[in-house]
Structure 1
């Protein structure tokens, strides 16, 4: 028997992997596969090594995910803290109060979604656009409107209207969604306009402001 094979067997029976043995004895892995392919005891060692490797990998992944969650929470908390610091001064601005209440009542309420508000009232869209630009400090090129229209409405006419209303150029508008069927009434002359911005940080601030606003002005009696 080759001396290196004898040493390889000893190392293998100690539970060492092919990679370890190959590195120590400078033997190709293919040679060891040939030597041990019919050895049941070697297969059991392989299974045990695989089990240990999977356990270590799962443990490492758990730690990585935990670290990522902690970093993500720290990042989110930074925006919340910033919102808390800004709140007293912003509370003196009518646009801030109007915008917060507008989003509270009409905006998307899922924290994981984009900042999004939809309405048919041009006054609300105008006010929200101004709130985003002046209070949230969102660059206009980061604001993306899109429309929901009935097929009998002119998309060009509606885009022109909402672009003028919001102050956002038509080039920013996303694909229009069409509602099946004919326009039931003439109330939705220009369809529904949605203004959207993709910023989790700013949405954290929005939700923090809404909570602070409620805490400051809530009716204490009967509110849990």
Structure 2
């Protein structure tokens, strides 16, 4: 009985091999544990051109599937690594002390803020950005570190024509804790623009925070110059 089962399995293995199945596929289909068994059975087997072509295609398909699985596993591994790095980095940032907020605010203005324009007699602090969190951080800096009076803070929103004014006013008022009616609105794109923008382009516009004051502007310039001189040996 055992010999009959083995003979039947061998015949099926030959048939599968002639169909172009790989050793691994045949072993899986017939429950053959040893690869050596198939090598022994097939040592004198001559594949015709059809079987060779089928085997070649099946091998390529198996390789493609293996590559796909590898890429999936690699993507998952990368996502896990990214999440670990992200969460670890978040834990490194503690609640900002005043001294830290001071340096962060100066560095932020150094990179994003408007510069003094003496020829135009323009002296003010002004920063614009689409990121609500960046705007909130700058507002916290001028309120808590520079002690700017709330009544001196001016705010605006630059929008494109496809954006509703009332919606963006509500959005930025909620984010900045400024009154919705305190925001002035300006259009960024002119009617002569040759390019059509998608409807969801900058859906909340660009917020502008401005504080007028010559002494304040020069104070910020001094902060930035002092910060920039840290590594220059001045």
TM normalised by structure 1 equals 0.53
Secondary structure of the corresponding residue to residue 197 of structure 1: strand
Larger Rg: 2
Whether 1:99 and 2:113 are equivalent positions in the alignment is no
Secondary structure of the corresponding residue to residue 138 of structure 1: coil
CA shift, 1:111, in A, is 4.5
Check conservation: 1:111, 1:204, Cα contact below 8 A: no
Q: Whose relative contact order is higher, 1 or 2, with alpha carbons under 8 Å and at least 6 apart?
A: 1
- Structure 2 residue ranges without an equivalent (≥5): 1-96
Whether 1:123 and 2:133 are equivalent positions in the alignment is yes
Show CA shifts across 1:14-73 (max 9, x none).
xxxxxxxxxxxxxxxxxxxxxxxxxxxxxxxxxxxxxxxxxxxxxxxxxxxxxxxxxxxx
Which residue does 1:189 correspond to in 2? 203
Take 2:106 and 2:117, find their aligned partners in 1: how far apart are those partners?
A: 15
Check conservation: 1:148, 1:179, Cα contact below 8 A: no
RMSD over aligned Cα atoms? 2.2
Take 2:155 and 2:131, find their aligned partners in 1: how far apart are those partners?
A: 14
More off after superposition, 183-192 vs 198-207:
183-192
Whether 1:201 and 2:207 are equivalent positions in the alignment is no
Take 1:162 and 1:183, find their aligned partners in 2: how far apart are those partners?
A: 22
Take 2:104 and 2:129, find their aligned partners in 1: how far apart are those partners?
A: 15
Check conservation: 2:128, 2:206, Cα contact below 8 A: yes
Take 1:134 and 1:111, find their aligned partners in 2: how far apart are those partners?
A: 26
CA shift, 1:151, in A, is 1.0
- Structure 1 residue ranges without an equivalent (≥5): 1-90
Check conservation: 2:130, 2:202, Cα contact below 8 A: yes
Which one of 206, 210, 213 corresponds to residue 224 of structure 2? Answer: 210
CA shift, 1:157, in A, is 0.9
TM normalised by structure 2 equals 0.51
Secondary structure of the corresponding residue to residue 195 of structure 1: strand
Count of aligned pairs between the two proteins? 130
CA shift, 1:187, in A, is 4.6
Check conservation: 1:149, 1:192, Cα contact below 8 A: yes
Check conservation: 2:158, 2:185, Cα contact below 8 A: no
Secondary structure of the corresponding residue to residue 153 of structure 1: coil
1:126-145 correspondence to structure 2 within 5 Å? 126-145=136-155
Check conservation: 2:155, 2:182, Cα contact below 8 A: yes
1:31-50 correspondence to structure 2 within 5 Å? none
Change (3 A) 1:150 1:215: same
CA shift, 1:134, in A, is 0.8
1:57-68 correspondence to structure 2 within 5 Å? none
Which residue does 2:78 correspond to in 1? none
CA shift, 1:172, in A, is 2.3
